[in-house]
Amino acid sequence: MNGLLSVLRSLSRRYKLLILSSIDFSTAFACWVIFGPPFTALIASNFQVGLLSIISLNIYNFIIPTAVTFIYFVKSGFYRSSIRYSESRDLITRALKGSAVFGISWGIVYTAEYEVVRNQYLVATIFKSLFLAFVFYAFLQTSRDAARIILNFTKRENIGKPVLIYGAGVAGNELYQSIKHNHEINIVGFFDDSKALSGAEINSIKIYGKKKHLKELTEIYPNLEVYLAIPSLSVSERRRIISSLEKYKVAVRTIPTLHEIVANQKKMVEMQDLSIDDILPRNTVRYSPISFYGMNLMITGAGGSIGSEIVRQALLGNPNKIVLFELSEINLYSIQEEIESIIKAKDISVEVISVLGDVKDKFRLKEIINNHSIDFIYHAAAYKHVPIVEYYENISEGLKNNIFGTKALCEVASECNVKKVVVISTDKAVRPTNIMGASKRLAEMVVQSIDSENSNTKYCIVRFGNVINSSGSVIPLFRKQIAQGGPVTITHKEVTRYFMTISEASSLVIQAGEFAEGGDVFILDMGDQVKIFELAEKLIYLSGRNISHDGQGEGIEIKEIGLRPGEKLYEELLISGDKLKTSNSKIFKSIEKYPAKDVLTKVLDDLYNASLSNDVLEIRNILKTNVEGFKEAKNE
């Protein structure tokens, strides 16, 4: 069977069309003979006249309607559709129209030949035309269905990975239609909580409705994957379903949420991995875009994880101009290309300026800010990877960029009368145990000090924890390690971290900027801290894999490798311990002290000189003396 199928599939399209049109011609001829004039005349003659003689006498009232029908088929693209992959409704529509053309054409020819109207046979002829059209359609559709079944036939041992579609609604059916011809996938069923659907079928595939069925399916198909196809679910409902699937150790993938579909970000049948929103126990809040109408914005670090998302969201506020300020050429090119495509797709009227530059270069900053009359600046440019900044050779550069780059930007913003500057900070700035965190805490002090001396520009700081899927985030690393078969590496079983999506963090940064009165330190509500070990477990189970304990048995091992230099077991967001509410329940304000200007100036001068000579010992001593709580972690 497979040998014949291979021959048929390998034929050129011309030969396939020749075979198909020959079948259609034969079908039309058979319909005409059996249900048209020839067989009727044969019965009327009491079988005294030969069938071939009758056919030859009436052949033109077959040839003419058949020719008209085939011309219609060609013109309508009937033969351009691939039978193997066409949707049934598409073939049904075209076959119905073609059949109608055949029946009507025959009726017209027959009426003219036998003077039907004068002989008062018009009603009978109309009924016969309709009947002939219906029979021809039935023959056409049957031949197409049979061809599709034959061409899509696959031997059992060649079936791909077993997939259960969770959701038997419109989205589930559309997903089925989009993947049913993929021979790498074997759809073993649908699952739906609705009692009304349990036990029913979609395209001869059973709908399951009880959890015990899931257990049975995992026993039959050990490598079962579940495709979640209910885009209208709320976040909590999605989490409930995903959590219930975790114990079955099945790989779970999902179609986009309704929000993503409506926002034209995703197609309904576009499969994707679970987002951390689906896994972590926290509620994501979406906010309406802030209006930047008529304003000129500048985002430093515009090609980074947070900077690029601020750019995307700021676009929706209809600014007059956005300046993308970025040190990395490749990052700048990437965000520029993306933003240009968004502008075109959404028909947004905004000028985008892509600028290569270093935030430590005051001359370059002043030139750009003045040339483009910048109103708001979002400062996201920073070195943030703890192990890299902690490395001996990088300490000085980390300080120059994070502290003195921030200082240069804020001073130039004041000189150029920028209305507002929002500086992105990190939870690692609170009682830091590493150079990166200490540099960000000093940068915060610099911002507050400059704000106290300035009345034209309002400065604020927004402090938050880990953002999901940012560069260096643990989650993409875990996914990569799982895909490679493990082990998944964690630094310590007790390590906990705050998590927030890039989109939510960027939205809250923009929202916080609206509250700025000058020198504010805003804290984002990150929810509860999450154990990294438990997160690793969830990701492994929801990838359809088991956990190997102590390297024994099949599965993926979770391996402790020890805390990295400067790494904490847990993070904090507050230094003072007090926080004030704002009108946004996700944004708090912290009242925090900073040194007098002359004291801070002396600290910065000493630190700058130590950085120039790369005197790491002196740098550490200055930070220990002047950054509250700074105590380098002693990691074994």
Looking at the annotation, which residues are catalytic?
428
8 A C-beta contact, residue 254 and residue 227 = yes
- Angstrom distance (rounded) from CA 503 to CA 508: 9
Beta bridge partners of 468: 501
Beta strand extents in 63-111 (DSSP E only): none
Q: Any residues with CB less than 8 A from the CB of 414 and at least 6 apart, and which?
A: 450, 454, 456, 457
Q: Is the peptide bond before 319 cis (omega within 30 degrees of 0)?
A: no
CA distance 93 to 412: 67
Alpha-helical regions (H) of 224-296: 235-246, 258-262
Instruction: Give, in order, the Cα–Cα distances in Å from 534 to each of 369, 547, 548, 551.
Output: 46, 12, 14, 18
The pairing of strands 272-273 and 251-254 is antiparallel
User: Amino acid identity, residue 469?
Assistant: N
Pairwise CA distance, residues 137 & 554, whole Å: 56
Q: Strand, coil or helix: what is 250?
A: coil
Q: With contact defined as beta carbons under 8 Å apart, do 174 and 181 qualify?
A: no
Residue type, 390: E
Using only the alpha carbons of the chain, give its radius of gyration: 35
**Strand pairing of 321-326 and 296-300?**
parallel
Distances (CA, A) of 398 to 183, 304, 384: 52, 16, 9
- Within a 10 A sphere around the Cβ of 409, how many other Cβ atoms? 28
Torsion from C-alpha of 389, 395, 397, 403, nearest 10 degrees:
90
CA 512 to chain centre: 27
What 3-state class would DSSP assign to 225?
Answer: strand
Question: Three-state DSSP class for 462?
Answer: strand
For the record, the structure tokens of 488 come out as: 């998944």
How far is 99 from 264, CA to CA, in rounded Å? 39
